[in-house]
Structure formats: C-alpha cells, structure tokens
Amino acid sequence: MRRTTLLLVTALTLGLATLTSPAQAETPKDTLVMAKAIDDMITADPAEIYEFTGGEVGTNVYDRIMRFEAEDLSKIVGGVVDSDYKLSDDGKTFTFKIRPNQKFHSGNPLTADDVAFSLQRVVKLNKTPAFLITQFGWTPDNVESLVKAIDPETVQMTITEEFAPSLVLNLLTSVVASVVDKKVVMSHDQGGDLGYAWLKMNEAGSGAFSMKSWKPNESVVMEANPDYRLGAPKLKRVVIRHVAEAASQRLLLEKGDVDIARDLTADQVKGLAGNSDIVINTYPSADTYYMALNQKDEHLRNPKVRQALRWLVDYQGMVDTFLKGQYIVHQSFWPSGFFASYDDNPFKLDVAKAKQLLSDAGYPNGFDITLDTSTQVPFTDIAQNIQQTFAQAGINVKIKQQDSGQLFPLYRARQHQMVLIYWSPDYMDPHSNADSFARNPDNSDNPKSKPLAWRNAWEIPDIMAETDAAVKERDTDKRKAMYIDIQKKVQEDGPFIFLFQPTRQTAMRKNVSGWVQGPTFDVVYYRLTAKD
C-alpha cells in the first residue's frame, strides 16, 4: 500500500512539474488584445446593429456620413463627406460632397451612390435602428427619391419633417449612417434581401479596420486598413476576446495576457490600485440610471407620492460608498457635460419631508410596492439601499431581481410597479432622450412605439408639444432653453426618479496609449491606440 501511495504522489508531482511552462508570452506588440463580454453582439450589419459591442465594432469597421472623430469627440465633422454642406432655405434639403480618393476594404471606390444606397437600405430593411432616420419622413416607397446621388461625388437628402439641422447631423453620426460597399453587398443579395443574410456575419466597410472574423460569443478579430482616409491605425490588429467574468478579465490583465479589460467593477478597480503595471482611466458616460414609476399604479399616480419618493433616496450616500469613483448624482434625463444638460440636483434624503408628503397624499403609514431590477452590478446594491430608505417612511419594497431577458419584456408590457434600470442615448443630441422620456404620442395598449413615457403610462400632451417644438428649433440657444425647461418639468413631476450618471473606468496595461472612449457605446476608437 505504501508503494501505491508513493507512486501516486510521484505521478502527481511529475504531472505538475511538466506543466510548469515557460513564462507566458506577452501579447504581440502590434496587436491590441481586449477582454470584454461580447455576448450582446448578434449582428454585424450596420442596418441592424443596436447593441453595445456591435456598435463599437461597427464604429471601427465602417465609416459614417458624419462623425465625432477620435481626435476631438466634442464636435461633429464630416466623415465620408466634407464637413461643409449646403442647406436649402427651407432647411429640408442637405447636399454633401464625398471626400475624394476613399476606398472600401474590397478596393472599390467609395462614391455618392454607396452613401445613398446605404441609407436607402436601412429604410427598406426596417430593422430596429431604422427609426433613427425614418423619423426624417423616409419610407421604403419614397427613400430612393429623397436620398440620391446627384453625381459620383454628391449626395442629396431631403427630409419631409422639420428638424433642427444640428439634430439631423447628429443622427447622421449614428450607426445607421454607416456607408456600405454597394457592389459587394448586392453581389450577396439573396432573393431581394439587399445582402442582409450575408452582411449579418460579414462586413463591407471602409473604416480604419476590416473585420477579419467574428465568432459569436468567442472573439472578434480586426485588421488595420492601411488606406484609411485619416491614416493607417497605429496597431496592425485588434482582438476582442469574450471573457464573461469580470474577475477573469482582471486576472488576464494582471498577467499581461490582455492589454485592456473593459468590464471591471468598482471593487476590482480598487483592487488594482497598487499595481504599477496597470493604469485606470476614467471616461464620461452618457447613461442615465433611474427608477420608473408606473402611473397605472394607484399609489404612484398621486403626484405627492412621487414627490415623496424623490426625497426618500440617499443619492449622495450611495455615491460616497459602494458607487464611489464610478457614478455621480444626476437628477435629470439628459446627462451632464453635454449640450442642453440640466445639472440642478435638488433632491436628497429627507425622510421627514417625505413622510409629510405621504401623509398629505393619504398614506401616513406607507404602502407595499414591488421593485423590479436586473441581477447585474450595481442594481442589486442600489435596490437594497432604496428598500432600506423607503422603509423609513413605511414603504415596504419587495425587490424582484431578474435577468434582462425577463426584465425588458415586463417593462415593455407595463406589468411593473417600479423598475430600476438605465438608459443609453442613441445619439448625442438631447432629443434622443427627450423622445423617450418626454413624448408619449399614443398611450393605448397597442401603440406603434413604446417610449419610456408610454411604458409608465404617462400622458403628457403639453410636454410632448414642447418636445416636438424643440426638435424643430433652429436657434441653438432657444433650443437649449427648451430642453432645460422640459427636463425641469420631467424632474419635478414625471414618473421617473433620476439617480446617477456613471463614468466608465477602463483598466489597461501601462504600455497602452491613445485609447479613445466616448460617452456612448459606439464612440470607441481603436485607430489611435498604440503599445510602447
């Protein structure tokens, strides 16, 4: 028996010893390796992309009509077109000149016909993000006459609805304004699908990188386009590895097996503080964390109750503790730091005031209510904190955590009482959020669209009229004042308790430089990134 034991121990030791491999190789010098959860990416077709990872990949693989460029994210400039454009007197016809000598990854020249085709294709396919440009009044029947190539260098777009020009240009920075290679796409047309089946898994862009491969839930590999109009990217290759667990991302980063970890939580970032090989950079984010109050609920329908609830949240307490470093208090629907943001945060935890308001509303002893939220960090912690402060005024909150796959259908069906969730703008114009928080064109149970005001059954003809007017206002200062007024009204009386605005902390190896990360999911650029 002793011999057997000895044999076993020897085998184990030898086994372990043989596995002591040479020191792990660092990532190649010409390749950026990123750890990120990419299981949200379900398509590579810019007419359909509407998720974070897909949007980010699309930003780098496709060029767009207008852009917030990596060198300066604060202003809109021309992408494939010149920044200067002609606008008709009625403000509805935009004429753009295509920048010369541009080529797609296929080698085909980029012309006005490709630009027109790309927009027409989005409208005709009518996938989720098509609304971004169909709100111009474009339909599958009229888009070919309203969006057309006048000549190989000139594209003209006519909108039928009145919009502020700055809004139109902003919408032309979104993913649906990506320019696709018409020849390549149509060569894969199957039964009139405009290349949809093919482009879901492939690319036909002219961006700084070409997409060499995408293995769903595994990896995305991109290679530099040396002929990109703004110059070749500094790195030859970008590899995004799907790593679902943030803790695993952290270990990979510490060992140098990845250069950037994108999904670290606040705790993990804190844990990296003493590591001299890692740098933590903080970037602004345009997300809005809020609590929704369904107006179908008799308690929440009472304006005094809504007011009381706003005074029962310990905003600063949360930001000073478990949300430290990654969130700021922001109590309106358009994020701070952007055009027309409203930065007044009047609410704080005041239990006495809340109790008085509840008493005036007829609920001196509080009531029971359900709060639905996501299982993701930090929603659970925020929900528990809210549960605790609400209880001080007699409001008993039952928290129901669920996967986003369950939460969104529930919210869309108006089956909630309260929901704790967040919102990301589709583009960097205040109308992006106003359109959802401050518009409800049809409060019936079968509307054409389900903005957030609808999901909470908030009927607001006056505020909606103001939102519709702001969209058309061509004077920038007047437009700004209108959005600030709308935000005030929604803040005071709306079925939303606005809580926080996050910043995004991205951890990277110290030899990485030039990483550009904007406030929304698709303003993340790889082409200036280098490794020393």
DSSP H or E segment with residue 304: helix 303-310
Residue (311 or 526) nearer to other proteins, CB: 526
DSSP H or E segment with residue 150: strand 147-151
Decide: residue 192, CB within 10 A, 0-12 exposed, 13-18 middle, 19+ buried: exposed
Q: CA 426, 431, 434, 440: dihedral to nearest 10 degrees?
A: -90
Closest by CA position to 169, among listed 71, 51, 79, 72: 79
Q: For residues 234 and 243, what is the distance between their CA atoms, to the nearest angstrom?
A: 25
Residue (280 or 410) nearer to other proteins, CB: 410
Which residue shows structure tokens 């869309």?
412
Closest by CA position to 297, among listed 137, 456, 421, 140: 456
State the minimum distance, in angstroms, from the CB of residue 387 to other proteins: 23
Decide: residue 31, CB within 10 A, 0-12 exposed, 13-18 middle, 19+ buried: middle
Residue (17 or 84) nearer to other proteins, CB: 17
Residue (241 or 301) nearer to other proteins, CB: 241
The type of residue at 147 is: V
State the minimum distance, in angstroms, from the CB of residue 405 to other proteins: 4
Give the burial string for 62-74 (b: 16+ CB within 10 Å, else e).
bbbbbbbbbeebe
State the minimum distance, in angstroms, from the CB of residue 244 to other proteins: 5
Q: For residues 331 and 457, what is the distance between their CA atoms, to the nearest angstrom?
A: 21
Residue (2 or 75) nearer to other proteins, CB: 2
Residue (86 or 215) nearer to other proteins, CB: 215
Residue (39 or 189) nearer to other proteins, CB: 39
State the minimum distance, in angstroms, from the CB of residue 412 to other proteins: 7
Q: For residues 372 and 400, what is the distance between their CA atoms, to the nearest angstrom?
A: 5
The residues of the shown chain that bind other proteins, judged by CB under 8 A, are 1, 4-5, 8, 12, 16, 19-21, 23-25, 27-28, 31, 33, 39, 42-43, 50-51, 126-128, 130-131, 200-201, 213, 215-219, 221, 239, 241-245, 247-248, 251-252, 254-255, 257, 402-403, 405-406, 408-412, 426, 446-450
Residue (111 or 288) nearer to other proteins, CB: 288
State the minimum distance, in angstroms, from the CB of residue 356 to other proteins: 37
State the minimum distance, in angstroms, from the CB of residue 200 to other proteins: 5
Quick one: DSSP state of residue 83?
E
State the minimum distance, in angstroms, from the CB of residue 164 to other proteins: 22
CA distances from 146 to 117, 253, 283, 418 (A): 12, 50, 39, 43
State the minimum distance, in angstroms, from the CB of residue 290 to other proteins: 15
First to last CA, the chain: 58
Q: Where are the alpha helices (DSSP H) in 311-425?
A: 315-320, 351-361, 379-391, 404-412
How many CA atoms, within 13 angstroms, populate the side-chain half-sphere of residue 521? 21
Give the burial string for 209-247 (b: 16+ CB within 10 Å, else e).
bbbeebeeeeebbbbbbeebbeeebbbbbbbbbbbeebe
Residue (24 or 145) nearer to other proteins, CB: 24
Give the burial string for 469-505 (b: 16+ CB within 10 Å, else e).
ebbebeeeeebbebbbebbeebbeebbbbbbbbbebb
CA distances from 445 to 413, 419, 448, 450, 494 (A): 9, 19, 10, 10, 20
State the minimum distance, in angstroms, from the CB of residue 66 to other proteins: 22
Residue (201 or 481) nearer to other proteins, CB: 201
Residue (36 or 92) nearer to other proteins, CB: 36
The 10 Å Cβ neighbour count of residue 404 is 13
Residue (168 or 253) nearer to other proteins, CB: 253
State the minimum distance, in angstroms, from the CB of residue 374 to other proteins: 12
State the minimum distance, in angstroms, from the CB of residue 478 to other proteins: 29
State the minimum distance, in angstroms, from the CB of residue 194 to other proteins: 15
